[in-house]
Amino acid sequence: MATTGDLILEVNNIEVVYAKAIQALRGLSLAVPKGKIVALLGSNGAGKSTVLKAVSALLPMENGLVTEGRISFDGETVEQSAPHKLVRRGLFHVMEGRRIFGDLTVEENLTAATYALTGRSGITPDFDIVYRYFPRLAERRKSIAGYLSGGEQQMLAIGRALVAKPRVILLDEPSLGLAPLLVEEIFGIIARINAEEGVSMLLVEQNASVALSIAHYGYIMETGRIVIDGPTEKLVADRDVQEFYLGLAHKSYRDIKHYKRRKRWLS
């Protein structure tokens, strides 16, 4: 693994509790090297979104609290206080379910994201970069965002991140509710953004195969902790990952027992 200086994001042994009662993460650690795409995979309710919300300091808005551990962005500790300041420092969270501003136009949504540039001198807002990656948004720049198709809304959500000129983007299930062809198109663009703009990414997905197709490194989590991690080539070659996350083979009860044994051993 890379040394601390090469990491844009480092999560160390964090525990997260919602509403002072529900423990969502138990001693979770992960790291995102500069310029890389790291995938965070897992099934429903595993705690993937919680990891992202902890990193972007949005947890307190949902009555969640990081009770243990440390998160650092570019070497500095992330405080759970002011999410907008973190965005202005270059950490952008594209939230689950797109969360575009439905009654604003496409262009106004992008304008809202220019607040991320507050306090950063010498950067002028650039919407053309958004329209270059997503030409479809250019045609609809004056449309009310709430009436865009699901795919266009996802493009807009990523487009807002582009306006913010971040150093790391947290992407929460960009494939959610999209047709397979569109998923491939959007993931292709995500990979291009990473390669061309040099933005690091922490990519949360349930769709493991498409996520691993563009990621450099992957973590698989279950019920609040990491169970398997490794470089993508190693993960896709792993028999258990193939069976249980990429759905390449039939699952029999014996396999599941075997998997559970191995998981316990790994964690």
Partner 1 sequence: MAVEFIDIVETSLAGIGTGSLMALTGVAFVIIYKATKVINLAIGEMLMIGAFVFYGFSAGLALPIWASVPLTLVVAALIGGLIERTMIRPLLKDNPVSVFMVTIGLTSVLIGVVELVWSAEPRRLPEFLPSQPVLLGDAFIPSKTAYSFVIAAAAMAVLITVFAFWRGGIALRATATDRAAASSVGIDVPGVFSFSWMLAAVVAALAGILVGSVGGISSAMGLFGLSVFVVVIVGGLDSILGALIAGLFIGWLEAMVGRFMGGEFKLLATFTILLVVLVVRPYGLFGTHEIERL
Q: Pick one of ligand ATP, Mg ion, partner 1, none as the site partner of residue 165 (Cβ within 5 to 8 A by kind).
A: none
**Residue 86 makes contact with ligand ATP by CB under 6 A:** no
Please give the Cα distance from 18 to 222 (Å, whole number). Answer: 17
For the chain, the C-alpha Rg in angstroms (whole number) is 18
Q: Pick one of partner 1, ligand ATP, Mg ion, none as the site partner of residue 118 (Cβ within 5 to 8 A by kind).
A: partner 1
Q: How many CB atoms sit inside 10 A of residue 20's CB?
A: 9
Q: Pick one of ligand ATP, Mg ion, partner 1, none as the site partner of residue 232 (Cβ within 5 to 8 A by kind).
A: none
Binding region for partner 1 (CB under 8 A): 56, 58, 61-63, 82-84, 87-88, 92-95, 99-104, 108-109, 111-118, 144, 146-147, 160, 164
Among residues 152 and 229, whose Cβ is nearest to partner 1? 152
Among 27, 69, 80, 96, binds Mg ion (CB under 5 A): 96
Structure tokens at 261: 């044994």
Among residues 114 and 206, whose Cβ is nearest to ligand ATP? 206
Tell me the closest approach of the beta carbon of residue 173 to Mg ion, in angstroms. Answer: 6
Q: Would you give the binding string for ligand ATP spanning residues 169-208, x where CB under 6 A is met? A: -------------------------------------x--
Given the DSSP bridges, would you call strands 64-73 and 7-18 parallel, antiparallel or unpaired? antiparallel
| E strand or H helix at 82 | none
Given the DSSP bridges, would you call strands 200-205 and 168-172 parallel, antiparallel or unpaired? parallel
Among residues 206 and 213, whose Cβ is nearest to Mg ion? 206
Structure tokens at 199: 């933005």
Q: Pick one of Mg ion, partner 1, ligand ATP, none as the site partner of residue 17 (Cβ within 5 to 8 A by kind).
A: none
Q: Are 254 and 242 in contact (CB under 8 A)?
A: no
- Scanning 47-55, 121-129, 227-235, 247-255 for contacts with ligand ATP by CB under 6 A, the matching segment is 47-55
Tell me what percent of the chain is helix, strand and coil, each rounded to the nearest 5.
40, 25, 30
Chain residues 28-57 in contact with Mg ion, contact rule CB under 5 A: 49
Full strand arrangement of the beta sheet holding 217-222: 91-94, 168-172, 200-205, 37-41, 217-222, 225-231
Q: Pick one of Mg ion, ligand ATP, partner 1, none as the site partner of residue 44 (Cβ within 5 to 8 A by kind).
A: ligand ATP
Among 19, 103, 181, 250, binds ligand ATP (CB under 6 A): 19
Among residues 62 and 76, whose Cβ is nearest to ligand ATP? 62
Among residues 140 and 216, whose Cβ is nearest to partner 1? 140
The CA–CA distances, whole Å, from 64 to 58, 143, 185 equal: 9, 35, 34
User: Which residues make up the interface to Mg ion (CB under 5 A)?
Assistant: 49, 96
